Structure 1
């Protein structure tokens, strides 16, 4: 579950919902929005994320937090022997808490994504 889309699909399937049923729970007529999110071809707005989390009965932290942990995984930039610094962990914990409390706005998510993309690039 390395992407937001894969986590949405995971929690949807755990709840036994089809894409159409989840779309209906979110107040959308078409399941294509859910399909696009799950394939990671479209990123949900913060409002859409809140609707999805509510419909799936999970927290925003459940949907977003694993994104922040990828850096410490085998698939991420750091190996198991190279964990994040205590300061980096503290920053990520604060971001996770803000996300789960619904205090991040769309502009915050855009900025965080830009930072994440910059960190994914190999150092020159």
Structure 2
């Protein structure tokens, strides 16, 4: 994957870049998804975490704005399912996932 957003090293500490999402029609905002305990080479059987960050375009560069959310999963498989579904989520899907207790969302799918 060719990275357009330059993610600061301090955000990458202990994390891997999972996805970079930039809307083709409105490129002033970039969403970056970073994973903790998501690297297959160092994976430990426990929670995997996906963190969502907002970057704003200034001039030709995307600058870090803030962390938007963090999602925890009981292992890498459900985290990867979420990662695949994330770009297709409606606002309702996202709000449900972001605000519901994790036990309710085990097996939650976005089609």
The structure whose residues are more often strand, as a share, is 2
TM-score of the alignment, normalized to the shorter chain, above 0.5: no
The structure, 1 or 2, with the larger RCO (C-alpha pairs under 8 Å, 6+ apart) is 1
TM-score, normalisation: structure 2: 0.31
The structure whose residues are more often helix, as a share, is 1
